[in-house]
Structure 1
Amino acid sequence: FSERLAQLIWKDAVKSKDEVGALDFDPLYDAQDFDIKKFSLRKSKSEKDSAEVIASFENMGHKTEITFSLVLTKTGWKISDIKYADGRHLVGLLSGK
């Protein structure tokens, strides 16, 4: 994860103290339970230091698409945000926006 997203995830984990925080699901699959099938990736947008990749898959019989926003860092490409089909995005969930 990008430094900013990693910090938001860490703050949520620390703040929730053994309770469920903003992340009550697996953010990579947008689900609490998963049985992933028919997984594919495609590039949506690409620039010098940022990109978007769309993951398509079936989870427990439901078709899902999730958009991963990536940034290029000194150590390689990192996930900077995850956008879900219903309009939510991970940075917004973790920052209360």
Structure 2
Amino acid sequence: MDPVTSAAGALLAKYGIAGAGFAGAVLSLTFLHGLTRKQASVAIFTGFLSAVFTTPLAVGYFDLPRDADSQNGVAFLIGLLAMNIIPAFKALAERFFAARGA
């Protein structure tokens, strides 16, 4: 396979994940009411970054197809749900460390 084509495909896949994650993060604002502009911006930024950085992890962990469409779908869902997922992970981590006595 041509290295330039492979690099271009990888770059476009990253942009697809970023775009899908951003769209999910923006759409999540429809479920969050009473936010200030700063809080809304932080919510979008959190959803976007969560999608960009955890999509490859989620795809690999759940052994999902690695094609661009599947990754974009996962990125969208992570962006959409990040504001609900992050507090759940935080509570889980607090329980884990409290149980270990740390």
Q: Same fold (TM over 0.5)?
A: no
* Greater fraction strand: 1
RCO higher in 1 or 2 (8 Å CA, sep ≥ 6)?
Answer: 2
* Greater fraction helix: 2
TM-score normalised over the length of structure 1? 0.27
TM-score normalised over the length of structure 2? 0.27
